[in-house]
């Protein structure tokens, strides 16, 4: 997050992003794997279908 929107802060943030210091790459990857997993998708679709059938 950039504390102030000015050229100096923006440049500092881009340097940190390029150096990989801002993002937890492993955490982002694991979150994506969890969010987009087939098991999660099946659970979500079952929930949707069950809610439709109850109406």
pLDDT at 39: 94
Question: How many angstroms separate the CA atoms of 16 and 37, rounded?
Answer: 30
If you write DSSP's letter for every residue of 16-43 in order, what string do you get? HHHTT-S--HHHHHHHHHHHT-HHHHHH
Q: What is the pLDDT of residues 1-55, one digit of tens each?
A: 677 889 999 898 889 888 877 778 898 899 999 999 999 999 999 999 999 999 7
User: Which residues have CB under 8 Å from 23's CB, separation 6+?
Assistant: 17
In a domain, 15, yes or no: no
9 part of a folded domain: no
Q: How far is residue 11's CA from residue 43's CA, in Å, rounded to a whole number?
A: 43
pLDDT score at 49: 95
Q: Give pLDDT, residue 40.
A: 93
Domain that residue 32 falls in: 24-55
Q: What is the rounded distance in angstroms from the CA atom of residue 9 to the CA atom of residue 17?
A: 12
Q: Is 51 within the bounds of a domain?
A: yes
Determine, yes or no, domain membership for 41: yes
């Amino acid at each position: 997050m950039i504390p102030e929107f000015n050229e100096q802060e923006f440049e500092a943030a881009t340097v940190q992003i390029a150096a990989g210091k801002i993002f937890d790459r492993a955490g982002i990857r694991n979150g994506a794997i969890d969010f987009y997993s087939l098991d999660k998708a099946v659970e979500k679709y079952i929930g949707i279908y069950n809610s439709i059938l109850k109406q």
